[in-house]
Structure 1
Amino acid sequence: MATNLPALLRRLQRVEVAVRAAVAQRRETDPNPDDPFRGLYLSDEALDATLATGRGPYLPWPEEDEQPRRAGPAGGTDRLDALATAAGLTPLDVALLLVALAPDVDSRFEQFYGYLNDDVTRRRATIGLALRLCGLPEAAASARVRLASGAPLVDLRLIQVDDPDRPVLTRALRVPDRVSAHLLGADAPEPLLTGLVEPVDDHGTPPPGATELGQALDRARVRLAYLRERPGASALALGVAALARVGRTALAVDLPRLADSPRSAELATLVVREAVLTGAGVVIGPVGGDEPWEIWAQLATGSAPVLAYGGQAWDPGWSPQAPLQVEVAPLSAVDRAAVWRETLAGTLADGVDPASATAQFILGAPAIRRAASVAAQIAAAAGEPVDESHLRAGARTQNAAGLERLARRIVPEVSWDDLVLPGSILALLHELADRARFRDRVLREWRMRPGGGRGHGVTALFAGDSGTGKTMSAEVVAGSLGLDLYTVNLATVVDKYVGETEKNLERIFAEAAGVNGVLLFDEADAIFGKRSEVRDAHDRYANIESAYLLQRMETFDGLAVLATNLRANLDEAFTRRLDIVVDFPVPDEEARLALWERCLGNRVPRGADLDLGFLARSFELAGGHIRSAAVTAAYLAAGVGQPVGMAELIGAVGREYRKLGRLTLESEFGPYLALAH
């Protein structure tokens, strides 16, 4: 504070010179200067003197002294000069600001203003008094508008005009505490913006496009830009880096929270004022499209650049000012790996390559730094260097939580060793995982899917009878990639009301865009069915749902798996757009034997009469049914306190047959038929 106060006090000396002259002039026309009750009432003599002399301006405003000023923290010669430049203030604006500021710096001015207002209770400068102290008549229209809406002093809340019910000239002028504190050298932010605004520093290597955007801000004097970010991109990081290129810090504004406030327009003005005071730029978002128009109107005031960002296209109706529109692409795999290494320098385990361990996670630079911090904490808690598991665990913490309200989240606990499938099916599943790992290289670097507005996602279809391993395979693929699995039952998404199904699906896809996970659409045939000839309104709307989903799947940037028991019911247009189709067969005898062994595991006590070969030969069950029967047998054995034997397993199979509506035939159960009932 001490570095800026002397310069400001020298500026206020001009106000004191004007006040001294005004006091002397006031005394010359005062009919009773020794009245001890002056300012509390209006005498006849005082009224006659006012009628005789009028209310002309005081002496002309003193000239600026030539004494050099110290450099202030906000740039320029001192903070007042820097503020005048940033806010576009005229010399008259600066003079009015100094008059209003004086009581906040020197308490004597309260008494001075009370005397000049001829009212001891009005201890701040009024509009009329401020104009007269600046050597201007009270009726000067060109001067009065400097304290009205549309002028920077008022629009940026550098001066607060109080008492709106009073006549214009007797309205008091007040400098908000944040402005006076800034001019005195303090840097504490506006308290009302706590939780809404956060200063953000530029970190590390700038994202692609930062230099070009910075040049636009500098050369073209761009005041408003809209950064449309793709999934996995960070418009915030781009905006911060671009502002750093033009020598500005960044104020990151949480737009949804700001828009939800009942004082959103006022807070938007305070955001702009904070940027003007500190010489910063505003990076605000994400834009939802339903923000009050007053927010954009307030953000258009002042000279601070405003960089808004969001995932949707800019609507010209949002703001009267046309923005510079910039597409923000995600970081390349090489750039993401560089951020991982830069953040985790010296803490990685030997031989760990962040690029390969996290290739399937599409994250922006800020998210990578947060994920790396979490990974380092997890590793430190275990007393280990950061390895692949820590990297993936940290990356998963950056998933948005909104999808969990629409889908069931599953943390994978199975691996490739747990699958009992033919080699050709396993090869397709490995190919699906590889597509997720290397899609950046193939689709972005090698440009193998140009044009058409298609996304960079990977979509697969798992078709097969119930219990053949579709869901478990999706969980294994997710686990091998270090991702979570989110299951959506499309049967619960379908709504009988027109348009509601599409809305439900759009909410899921929108939330999934912010998640690095595998999205499993169960019972996909509920909505991916064949489009039919339109014979009535029901057919037309059913076809609209299918057409919408066709288009939305093409633009999806994530990893999606569709599971169905009825592949024949799917529209051919869907299968053409799928990357991989996996048909899960009913297990043969050899596979069933392996499934019985795997489902019982090595912890369940086994009876001496156990004959898993008989079970595999006799009962044509899918893997899901075998698992269910094994669990039931374990409960039966635990209930009688003995190992799992054939009695328990046959009884469990009999229960499974009844669930499936199948008959228990002697040809299948043989000598164990009695145990099945």
Structure 2
Amino acid sequence: MVGETRPLLHRLQRLELAVRAAVARRRESDPQPDDPFRGLYLSDEAVDAALATAREPFDPWPVHSTEPVAEQSGGPTTTRTDGRSGDRLAALAVAAGLTPLDEALLLVALAPDVDSRFEQFYGYLNDDVTRRRPSIGLALRLCGLPEAAASARLRLAAGAPLIDLALLRVDSPDRPLLSRGLWVPDRVGGWLLGVDAPEPLLVGLAAPVTPSGPPPADAAPLGRALDRAGARLAYLRERPGGSAIALAAAALDGAGRAALAVDLPRLAADAHPAELATALVREALLTGAGLIVGPVQGDEPWAVWVRLTAGEVPVLAYGTQPWDPAWTARAPLQVEVAPLGAEERAAVWRSVLPDGLADGLDPAAATAQFVLGAPAIQRAASVAVQLATAAGEPVDETHLRAGARTQNAAGLERLARRIVPEVGWDDLVLPAPTLSLLHELAGRARHRDRVLRQWRMRPGGGRGHGVTALFAGDSGTGKTMSAEVVAGSLGLDLYTVNLATVVDKYVGETEKNLERIFGEAAGVNGVLLFDEADAIFGKRSEVRDAHDRYANIESAYLLQRMETFDGLAVLATNLRANLDDAFTRRLDVVVDFPVPDEAARRALWDRCLGERVPRAADVDLDFLAEAFELAGGHIRSAAVTAGYLAAGAGRPVGMAELIGAVGREYRKLGRLTLESEFGPYLALAS
């Protein structure tokens, strides 16, 4: 610390000599040097003395020039301002493009914050004991310049680095220019003295980012663009599973800079966003960092971008939408941030997980269906380790998937209902061909990265990397439960879309609602279930009036949006024939759910009653399966009703409760209770 401040203190000693000389000259021309009230009023003698003498500059103490320090020295040896050179003021001058005059003005303004005697000196020289900071006029004179020097005044005006970077502040704008005070913000003064505490204004808005794990493949070229090509603005367009922050941090590290991540929406929402943006640029300049700014929403105030991109601090913005050239005057270097490949993802998992994993566990394979960037993997691994530690177990597949699910964005839950799967493959009672297709669907979700990205089996055309399936069958045949099983086998949550939040009577609103759902689903690792899908994915028809035209526009939009979807979506319908044929071509898997046959119905009755429900000796599952042609959903409903009847009567579930429950289910369905079906139990069905 002493080594860092010695050059600054040496310069202050030289400034003190100049101030001593100025004080001596001031005393020589003072008509009343012994007046105890001098500085508090203007006497006739003081006015006469001012009229008799011109306001001449003092003897110059610094070497001043209007050329930046870096240009005078033939170019900077480093752009870092972290004080490693031992002279922070010199390093700041190089990084900010300050001239020697700028350095002198900054030092004159800083002096009272380093040595309190300068308050008295400046009060005396200002001829006002209440003004203990240098005025612009006094600062110029101490630098050996006339008060009217235009080139010097420009160094304290907008457009000059001292002002634009808020390294120096000018107060009292209502005063004449020469009597306005100069002061150095506490953050700048503290940093020049070796204090590295961050700017308090930026707490919660910006935070340092340290690269961890293997650097992304695109980091090296981007780092070279920043370090050698002089790129100062880049836009990283982030795709689901990509990590713009990790890429930006690695690129800045390769360019020899630290990284400061900025919450852009919070910055834009502040009451004074432009001032905060200036403070961010100044902080990056002081710490030798680049700014990682995002996510870009497109509605940020113009002044924010002006302040962020005006200087030489590298700014790496990121977002999911295309860059609009109207946002900034400076054209950015645009980079597409693709999802991590399988090998990159595996390397990140290996780098963040400790030893002591469950035997044979491959973290990358266990989470292949999750689309996660490097920071999300790090957070997921941390959660998995905590869960395993709390359970006293080694980290296994269950812990990894639970940790990965914690990285889901919460926005989708406002538009769809989240279901945590609690059923598995053993709970399904379906024909073998149907089960085979469901397993295929789960396999597509697990291996889509290899097939679609590594093997490029779906190139071009702007197609997404999603998996889409259609579940078609009568009500109660197991479509929703099967979607839950598929989600559970993948370790994902199930999100069922509520059509009430989607369909809107106003033209164009349904598409907007669906776009919000698809947009939120892109940031969520889950299975998206559209129940009663024919309501929004119906056939296009011949246009006879405006209603038909807009209905067809809605269907055409959905066709295009499904083509670009990157997630896992299931469309469930009772009426497959009502779906547009163009949707069928875009589906990866079509699963038909038949009405269960007698053997399946018996298995369903047995499965729905379960092992914990007490059964009476007269329970005849064969009769129930043979007599009543019910789908699985209806069987489950009847079994639950029978359970309530038995619990109310305080006895095990018997045929009386089961037949009574079936009769109630028939009435719900509007079916007649025929003797040919109920046989000897007809009386119990009433």
Quickly name the TM-score band, shorter chain normalised: over 0.9
1:27-68 Cα deviation digits (max 9, x unpaired): 12111111110110011111111112122211123459xxxx
Aligned to 1:30: 30
1:464-494 Cα deviation digits (max 9, x unpaired): 1111111100100010001111110235301
Once residues 262 and 459 of structure 1 are traced to their aligned partners in structure 2, the CA distance between those partners, rounded to angstroms, is 45
For residue 370 of structure 1, the aligned residue among 370, 379, 395 is 379
1:124·1:172 contact (CA, 8 Å) conserved in 2? yes
Per the alignment, in what secondary structure is the counterpart of residue 542 of structure 1?
helix
2:4·2:83 contact (CA, 8 Å) conserved in 1? no
Aligned to 1:676: 685
The answer to whether structure 1 residue 60 and structure 2 residue 60 are counterparts is: yes
For residue 323 of structure 2, the aligned residue among 314, 337, 349 is 314
For residue 196 of structure 2, the aligned residue among 187, 197, 203 is 187
What's the offset of the Cα at 1:350? 1.6
What's the offset of the Cα at 1:547? 1.2
What's the offset of the Cα at 1:525? 0.8
Once residues 476 and 280 of structure 1 are traced to their aligned partners in structure 2, the CA distance between those partners, rounded to angstroms, is 48
1:93·1:146 contact (CA, 8 Å) conserved in 2? yes
Aligned to 1:79: 88
Aligned to 2:135: 126
2:409·2:524 contact (CA, 8 Å) conserved in 1? yes
Aligned to 1:95: 104
Once residues 509 and 18 of structure 2 are traced to their aligned partners in structure 1, the CA distance between those partners, rounded to angstroms, is 70
Deviates more, 1:594-603 or 1:485-494: 485-494
Once residues 138 and 222 of structure 2 are traced to their aligned partners in structure 1, the CA distance between those partners, rounded to angstroms, is 46
- Dislocated runs of 4+, deviation >4 Å: none
For residue 570 of structure 1, the aligned residue among 548, 558, 579 is 579
Aligned to 1:235: 244
Deviates more, 1:144-153 or 1:424-433: 144-153
One-letter identity of the residue aligned with 2:24 = A
2:473·2:575 contact (CA, 8 Å) conserved in 1? yes
The answer to whether structure 1 residue 341 and structure 2 residue 336 are counterparts is: no
1:487-521 Cα deviation digits (max 9, x unpaired): 10235301111221111111111111111111111
Equivalent residues in 2 for 1:470-619, closer than 5 Å: 470-619=479-628
Once residues 528 and 443 of structure 2 are traced to their aligned partners in structure 1, the CA distance between those partners, rounded to angstroms, is 16
Once residues 536 and 265 of structure 1 are traced to their aligned partners in structure 2, the CA distance between those partners, rounded to angstroms, is 51
Once residues 533 and 118 of structure 1 are traced to their aligned partners in structure 2, the CA distance between those partners, rounded to angstroms, is 89
1:127-181 Cα deviation digits (max 9, x unpaired): 1111111111111111111111111111111111111111111111110110001
Over 3 Å counting, the alpha-carbon distance change for 1:219 and 1:72 in structure 2 is closer
Deviates more, 1:49-58 or 1:204-213: 49-58
1:199·1:252 contact (CA, 8 Å) conserved in 2? yes
For residue 107 of structure 1, the aligned residue among 81, 106, 116 is 116
1:4·1:79 contact (CA, 8 Å) conserved in 2? yes
Once residues 617 and 151 of structure 2 are traced to their aligned partners in structure 1, the CA distance between those partners, rounded to angstroms, is 104
Aligned to 2:68: none
Per the alignment, in what secondary structure is the counterpart of residue 282 of structure 1?
strand
Give the TM-score, by structure 2 length: 0.96
Once residues 477 and 73 of structure 1 are traced to their aligned partners in structure 2, the CA distance between those partners, rounded to angstroms, is 53
Once residues 581 and 56 of structure 1 are traced to their aligned partners in structure 2, the CA distance between those partners, rounded to angstroms, is 91
One-letter identity of the residue aligned with 1:477 = V
One-letter identity of the residue aligned with 2:261 = A
One-letter identity of the residue aligned with 2:649 = V
1:156·1:301 contact (CA, 8 Å) conserved in 2? no
2:81·2:286 contact (CA, 8 Å) conserved in 1? no
Aligned to 1:48: 48
Deviates more, 1:301-310 or 1:593-602: 301-310
1:592·1:623 contact (CA, 8 Å) conserved in 2? yes
One-letter identity of the residue aligned with 1:233 = G
Once residues 486 and 216 of structure 1 are traced to their aligned partners in structure 2, the CA distance between those partners, rounded to angstroms, is 42
One-letter identity of the residue aligned with 1:668 = E
Per the alignment, in what secondary structure is the counterpart of residue 3 of structure 2?
coil
One-letter identity of the residue aligned with 1:52 = A
Q: CA RMSD in A?
A: 1.3
1:225-271 Cα deviation digits (max 9, x unpaired): 00001100000000000000011010011111111211211111111
Gap runs ≥5 in structure 1: 65-70
Aligned to 2:413: 404
The answer to whether structure 1 residue 449 and structure 2 residue 458 are counterparts is: yes
Once residues 406 and 665 of structure 1 are traced to their aligned partners in structure 2, the CA distance between those partners, rounded to angstroms, is 44
One-letter identity of the residue aligned with 1:48 = D
Aligned to 1:254: 263
1:491·1:523 contact (CA, 8 Å) conserved in 2? no
Aligned to 1:359: 368
Aligned to 1:302: 311
Per the alignment, in what secondary structure is the counterpart of residue 3 of structure 1?
helix
What's the offset of the Cα at 1:72? 8.2
2:467·2:588 contact (CA, 8 Å) conserved in 1? yes
One-letter identity of the residue aligned with 2:49 = A
Aligned to 1:68: none
Over 3 Å counting, the alpha-carbon distance change for 1:62 and 1:89 in structure 2 is closer
Aligned to 1:17: 17
One-letter identity of the residue aligned with 1:458 = V
1:170-223 Cα deviation digits (max 9, x unpaired): 111110110001000011110111111000111121011000000111121001
Per the alignment, in what secondary structure is the counterpart of residue 169 of structure 1?
helix
1:58·1:132 contact (CA, 8 Å) conserved in 2? yes
Over 3 Å counting, the alpha-carbon distance change for 1:304 and 1:72 in structure 2 is closer
Per the alignment, in what secondary structure is the counterpart of residue 572 of structure 2?
strand
For residue 633 of structure 2, the aligned residue among 621, 624, 627 is 624
Once residues 262 and 81 of structure 2 are traced to their aligned partners in structure 1, the CA distance between those partners, rounded to angstroms, is 26
Per the alignment, in what secondary structure is the counterpart of residue 507 of structure 1?
helix
One-letter identity of the residue aligned with 1:61 = W
1:74·1:279 contact (CA, 8 Å) conserved in 2? no
Over 3 Å counting, the alpha-carbon distance change for 1:335 and 1:62 in structure 2 is closer
Give the TM-score, by structure 1 length: 0.98
What's the offset of the Cα at 1:19? 1.2
2:62·2:104 contact (CA, 8 Å) conserved in 1? no
What's the offset of the Cα at 1:75? 3.6
Once residues 347 and 122 of structure 1 are traced to their aligned partners in structure 2, the CA distance between those partners, rounded to angstroms, is 67
Equivalent residues in 2 for 1:76-225, closer than 5 Å: 76-225=85-234
Per the alignment, in what secondary structure is the counterpart of residue 583 of structure 1?
strand
1:380-402 Cα deviation digits (max 9, x unpaired): 11111111111111111111111
Equivalent residues in 2 for 1:266-305, closer than 5 Å: 266-305=275-314
Per the alignment, in what secondary structure is the counterpart of residue 2 of structure 2?
coil
2:62·2:101 contact (CA, 8 Å) conserved in 1? no
Aligned to 1:67: none
Give the % identical residues.
80
1:250·1:280 contact (CA, 8 Å) conserved in 2? yes
Q: How many equivalent residue pairs?
A: 671
One-letter identity of the residue aligned with 1:266 = E
One-letter identity of the residue aligned with 2:153 = R
1:460·1:579 contact (CA, 8 Å) conserved in 2? yes
One-letter identity of the residue aligned with 1:530 = K
Over 3 Å counting, the alpha-carbon distance change for 1:85 and 1:72 in structure 2 is closer
Once residues 243 and 223 of structure 1 are traced to their aligned partners in structure 2, the CA distance between those partners, rounded to angstroms, is 11
One-letter identity of the residue aligned with 1:494 = V
Once residues 343 and 161 of structure 1 are traced to their aligned partners in structure 2, the CA distance between those partners, rounded to angstroms, is 49
One-letter identity of the residue aligned with 1:472 = M
1:489·1:523 contact (CA, 8 Å) conserved in 2? no
Once residues 499 and 471 of structure 2 are traced to their aligned partners in structure 1, the CA distance between those partners, rounded to angstroms, is 15
Once residues 234 and 637 of structure 1 are traced to their aligned partners in structure 2, the CA distance between those partners, rounded to angstroms, is 56
Once residues 293 and 536 of structure 1 are traced to their aligned partners in structure 2, the CA distance between those partners, rounded to angstroms, is 44
Per the alignment, in what secondary structure is the counterpart of residue 147 of structure 1?
coil
1:346-394 Cα deviation digits (max 9, x unpaired): 1312211112101101111111011111101111111111111111111
2:199·2:283 contact (CA, 8 Å) conserved in 1? yes
Once residues 393 and 534 of structure 2 are traced to their aligned partners in structure 1, the CA distance between those partners, rounded to angstroms, is 47
One-letter identity of the residue aligned with 1:281 = G
